[in-house]
Structure 1
Amino acid sequence: MPPKRLVQDVRTRWNSTYYMMESLIAQKRALCAYSAEHDLPATLCARQWGLLEKIVAALAPFEELTREVSSSWSSASDVIPIVCVLKRVLSRRNESDEGIRTMKITLLEAVNRRFKDVESEPLYAVATLLDPRYKDRYFTSVEISNQAKAALIVEVRKMEEVFKRSTSDSSEPAEGTSCESAAVEPASKTPRMETASHSRLESIFDEILKESSVEPAPQLTTSSACIEVQTYLSEPTIQRSDNPLLYWQVNQPRLPTLVCTAAKFLCAPSTSVESERLFSTASIIIDERRSRLTAEKAEMLIFLKKNLPLMLK
């Protein structure tokens, strides 16, 4: 067998413990053979190996979703659907859970406690509605969904007023207020789309979409903002492997105000991981040996490091 090194865990990173257990299971045959020929101070019995495999299977969704929300292309719209899928996975009971049932119950309680108010946060709720892959299909109750829709209509009306003011002040729209300047032109295929297609939890996302029924809300007003929102939400969702920014680029003439609102909310990242990676990039570029590196040149190098791969793609 090719020589391999076992992974060691780090206390500050939970997924390192997951990777350590995963590497142990991958080298199970070699470790059992070595322990049979040498007098080791501690070894794992068959029951412990079985528990280890079950624990890795239970933590696999956490690891996959952690990587997804920590990626550079993750958006705030991913948070509510991911929490919904995680609760669905942990709440399922089957015969293979023998020995880890208490662990799954504890994990589910922790997820409910930590994310109990996530659907009430306007940023996450509106961003989820504006993502054509999710819309209103992942909210846990009709009441919360209606509150999110009301918040979305308020934001669309604000954007509509800003756009009207900018066009009335001058014949040319003010810089940064038009939908063309707000919309982001995405690549035809992004890393997110490629990884999403290989997700082990894709069936859970599809299952929740099939269960959610779309009920047309009564049209209480004929304002253009409400008409755009109702038209958009009444349409079917796109595939999770599709690019939401590309969707808004294509539908810009049909839903102009919603495009501006989507550009405002979908640019928000779901975690601070990418910001921390930016600081790590700066610490690599700015070194004590490069004492003549000016702040301006350092900023240019950091910008190229983070943006050049996107431009080349």
Structure 2
Amino acid sequence: MSVVWNYFQVSPSDFKLAICNDCKALVMRGGTKASSFNTSNLISHLRMKHSERYAAFVEQNNEKKQQGQGAQKKNTQLMLKESTEKKQKYNKDHPRAKAINQKIMECIALDNQPFSIVQDARFTKLVEFLEPRFAMPNRKYFSDVCLPELYNVVYSHVEKLIADALSISFTTDVWSSSVSHVSMLSMTAQWLDEDFELKKCVLHSQKCRGSHTAEAITCAFEGMFEMWKIPKESVHVVVRVNARNMAKATSEFGVPSLPCMAHTLQLAVNEGALSQHSIADALAMLRTQAAYVCTLKRFLFFHFTSSLKHCL
């Protein structure tokens, strides 16, 4: 609204006229329709009839223009600042970046994805489309920073659950891989919570280096129980395989244990079946044929890939 209306008011009897606050003169507003109204006649009236009022009007009008220009400049600066910020990438400590890293780490852990997924072109394009300001870290950042952070969160949660359990049952075994020649000693826990709901989780899994003696396994048990702060008194039973080293290890560790029923049954069936010469001979033939098929598949695959490389 123009500053000139500080010195005029609309005529109550005719909206086409304005009344001067000083001399009460009627001044035309510039037409017969509201769309054609202006303030030129009002300003001219002040300039010709009231010089002091006109000078005050000019000063007030200039101040209003300066304020408007200042606000416009400020808005322009804010818009430029916001536009620049939107183009800048988040740093690794930004809350939004940390939240996205956490979700990606959960995806890798829960879906059994490799760390190399963060370097896949389509995956990085997808994340960039969803959040253009996010800069994808390398795989080492996820393995060295994000994974330990997620581990600490899960560890604290499981530790609290176990601390409230009065009695816990365990299963353990040493698993050996025929591919990578790595042996793993694992331990899972099962217990009932206050609502009588079954809880279970894999507490520990570590490389079992050297000979799998009872002494080595006992030492590993001590480390696991000490890490999770589980007293031996709260152990209900440890279900293990029938191997002598596992039986001796649980005995030396001082916890009750039982052999796995499924493993015992499998050993009985296996020994009974292999004692029959016809079955043993048939299995030997099948193993030979399986080895031949695997070798043939590898040869064909190698030949196909080599031919494909030459074609490309």
Answer yes or no: same fold by TM over 0.5. Answer: no
Using the size of structure 1 for normalisation, the TM-score is 0.21
Greater relative CO (CA pairs within 8 A, separation 6+): 1
Structure with the bigger percentage of strand: 2
Using the size of structure 2 for normalisation, the TM-score is 0.21
Q: Quick check: which has more Rg, 1 or 2?
A: 2
